[in-house]
Amino acid sequence: MEAGEEKSKKAGGECFYEVFEEEIHQVIVGNRLFKFGERVAIGASGGKDSSVLAYVLSELNRRHSYGLDLFLLSIDEGITGYRDDSLETVKRNEVQYGLPLQIVSYKDLYGWTMDEIVKMIGLKNNCTFCGVFRRQALDRGAALLKVDKLVTGHNADDIAETVVLNILRGDIARLSRCTSITTGEDGPIPRCKPFKYTYEKEIVMYAYFKKLDYFSTECIYSPNAYRGFACEFINDLERLRPRAILDIIKSGEDFRIATTTKMPEQGTCERCGYISSQKWCKACVLLEGLNRGLPKMGIGRPRGNVNGDYKDIKARSTAKTIESKQCGSLDF
Amino acid sequence: MMTRKDLVLVLSPRVECHTPENVYCFDSCLRKQMAQTKKTKTTSYGVLRELKAEILSERIGEEEKEEEGFCYRKTSLKMQFTLEFGGGLELLCDSVKIHKVNINLLNDSDILTMKDLLSWVRTNLIKERPEMFMKGDTVRPGVLVLVNDCDWELSGQLDTTLEDKDVIVFISTLHGG
């Protein structure tokens, strides 16, 4: 971020946003994120990252003739006082940037809103439900729009937090995937993150100078999220040594998993056909838990078979040592 | 004969609050002393002399006295600033995004730094949850500060000197995107 600022100061009068847009263009071209003529959906929540993403992408699409067909895809989790307000912002963005909007809601897809889910499970593990459901919802929405690719506004701070979070939880499978700029290429819809090397501060400054319209409040359930610790840690680190964020991402990219580690294999969910490393995908497990009034199902360390015909592979790991535990089955 | 109003309220860190009634002493020793002296309605000249000596040796505190013979006044500098709060921080200031404020500076040096301004803001503008805005002496990590559209990290952070009619913007980056 400081490098960007200094760049703009040195380059006599060249303004901050030109440098910012140019950097994003270089990331897109250098990593070959898009092909000419692709249909691309932008995951838009109405927050700062997705609003800036929508603006910059439509700008660059025009300026450098990427030839992309852009759409806005928004997910309604049903969080009153947060999501209903931010959706208004996305609707305004639809008009301001001239991009068609598609809204997908949890209620339609799963029959549950986040408010109802939280009432059932309490204030812990909310992000687990929301995140898992959102991933699937984005894929469903992308399929409805018949797009080739999905872009999200994850920035450098987010990715650094994810790396730290996965280390703190021992989730090796995710650790190996989380720093890729494009993920899910072998799945239904690949996703990419053009802001992977962009600091959150740069995005906020860009939005401020360009006077972009965005919604800025924390999700009401987020104070209880585990990610909060990683977030605070990253912010304190950034204050001391701003380059640390990019360095964490670099470390994440260079991680190589020992060949002796047991890694989950990717298959498909028996119930819904979605990509999954277990017999049932996480969303199906969580939904089943909700519908049967067992909010703890799918959360935390398994204690044997919950359901006669559903075999949890994790339940079979009865070994006592940490090394032999299946990836991602460590609980906190 | 000096009156109550004439005795100027000097406080750390060298900024007089907008409303003279709301002055705060950040120096706990002086606070204790003030508490002690306030107990007795009639304060002796001896105590005043002691306080004056302390003020002159750069320990600042506040006290309003009706006693005769003591006056301590410094040159006053009025500065006007425009403060903007964004990214959710406006919720800490009664949801008002833009504040036009006047700050009276009482100082030996005519310099007002960001450090002074921050304490002033915490005292006067932040009505709830100050820990969301500040951590210790400086802003909470994750809050972007722009002085005249320039990131304060380039102008010295807390030591940035402020001039009349400056525009200072505080934007929080701590929310989902």
Of B86, B91, B151, the CB nearest to A5: B151
In this predicted structure, the answer to whether residue B68 has a pLDDT above a threshold of 70 is: no
Give the integer Cα–Cα distance in Å for B43 and A134. Answer: 69
Element (H, E) at B37: helix B28-39
Over residues A212-222, the pLDDT tens digits come to 888 887 788 87
pLDDT of amino acid B74: 47
pLDDT: is A28 or A12 the higher one?
A: A28
Task: Say which DSSP state A310 is in.
Answer: B
Give the integer Cα–Cα distance in Å for B89 and A204. Answer: 14
Query: Pick from A309, A312, A293: which is nearest to A301 by CA?
Result: A312
In the numeric block, which tokens belong to residue A178?
A: 């989380």
What superfamily would CATH give domain B77-172? Beta-grasp domain (3.10.20.30)
pLDDT: is A210 or B54 the higher one?
A: A210
Is A133 contained in some domain? yes
Over residues A231-274, the pLDDT tens digits come to 889 998 988 898 999 999 999 999 888 888 888 787 888 887 77
Q: Are A204 and A294 in the same domain?
A: no
Over residues B29-44, the pLDDT tens digits come to 445 555 555 544 344 4
Q: Chain-centre distance of CA A173, in angstroms? A: 16
Is A324 contained in some domain? no
Task: Say which DSSP state A274 is in.
Answer: -
Residues near B149 by Cβ (< 8 Å), separated by ≥ 6?
Answer: A209, B167, B169
Task: Say which DSSP state A97 is in.
Answer: H
Q: Which residues of B touch A222 (CB under 8 A)?
A: 176
Q: Are A185 and A296 in the same domain?
A: no
Please return the burial class of A114, using the count of CB atoms within 10 Å of its CB with bins 0-12, 13-18 and 19+: buried
Q: Are A19 and A151 in the same domain?
A: yes
| Domain locations in chain B as residue ranges | 77-172
Cβ contact, residue pair B154, A9, below 8 Å = yes
In order of A212, B66, B138, the CA distances from B73 in angstroms are 48, 15, 29
pLDDT of amino acid A86: 84
Q: Which residues of A touch B176 (CB under 8 A)?
A: 45, 47, 218-219, 222
Q: Which residues of B touch A236 (CB under 8 A)?
A: 141
pLDDT of amino acid A81: 79
Give the integer Cα–Cα distance in Å for B175 and B177. Answer: 7
ipTM rounded to 2 decimals: 0.75
Of B87, B142, B153, the CB nearest to A235: B142
Collapse the DSSP code of A265 into the 3-class scheme (helix H, G, I; strand E, B; otherwise coil) and give the result.
Answer: coil
Q: Are A215 and A272 in the same domain?
A: no
* Containing structural domain, residue A290: 267-316
In this predicted structure, the answer to whether residue A301 has a pLDDT above a threshold of 90 is: no
Crossing angle of helices A200-209 and A156-169, in 10° steps, is: 150
Is A101 contained in some domain? yes
Is A235 contained in some domain? no
Helical H runs in chain A? 2-10, 16-30, 48-63, 83-97, 106-110, 114-121, 126-145, 156-169, 172-177, 200-209, 227-240, 244-254, 282-291
Query: Pick from A98, A101, A89: which is nearest to A207 by CA?
Result: A89
Give the integer Cα–Cα distance in Å for A145 and A44. Answer: 14
Q: How far apart are the first and last CA of chain A?
A: 34
Q: For B167-172, what is the mean pLDDT?
A: 91
Of A9, A50, A231, the CB nearest to B177: A50
Judge contact between B125 and B93, C-beta under 8 A.
yes
Is A122 contained in some domain? yes
Cβ contact, residue pair A205, B151, below 8 Å = yes
Query: Pick from A275, A286, A299, A285: which is nearest to A140 by CA?
Result: A275
Is A47 contained in some domain? yes
Amino acid type, A314: K
Amino acid type, B79: M
pLDDT of amino acid A189: 87
Q: For A26-37, what is the mean pLDDT?
A: 92
In the numeric block, which tokens belong to residue A220?
A: 């009401």
Q: Are A141 and A277 in the same domain?
A: no
In this predicted structure, the answer to whether residue B6 has a pLDDT above a threshold of 60 is: no
Is A22 contained in some domain? yes
Helical H runs in B40-98? 45-56
In the numeric block, which tokens belong to residue A315?
A: 């339940």
Is A227 contained in some domain? no
Q: Are A128 and A209 in the same domain?
A: yes
pLDDT: is A15 or B105 the higher one?
A: A15
In this predicted structure, the answer to whether residue B118 has a pLDDT above a threshold of 60 is: yes
Is the previous residue joined to B130 through a cis bond, with omega within 30 degrees of 0? Answer: no
Residue carrying structure tokens 């208004």: A88
Give the integer Cα–Cα distance in Å for B124 and B119. Answer: 8
Q: Are A207 and A273 in the same domain?
A: no
Is the whole-model pTM more than 0.95?
A: no
What total of structural domains would you count in chain A?
Answer: 2
Q: For A78-95, what is the mean pLDDT?
A: 86
Judge contact between A47 and A154, C-beta under 8 A.
no
In this predicted structure, the answer to whether residue B13 has a pLDDT above a threshold of 50 is: no
What does the mean pLDDT of chain A come to?
82
Share of chain A above pLDDT 90, in %: 33
Give the integer Cα–Cα distance in Å for A153 and A271. Answer: 31
| Least Cα separation, residue A196 to chain B (angstroms) | 14
pLDDT bracket for residue A147 (50, 70, 90): very high
Query: Pick from A145, A149, A144, A177: which is nearest to A34 by CA?
Result: A149
Q: For B131-148, what is the mean pLDDT?
A: 88
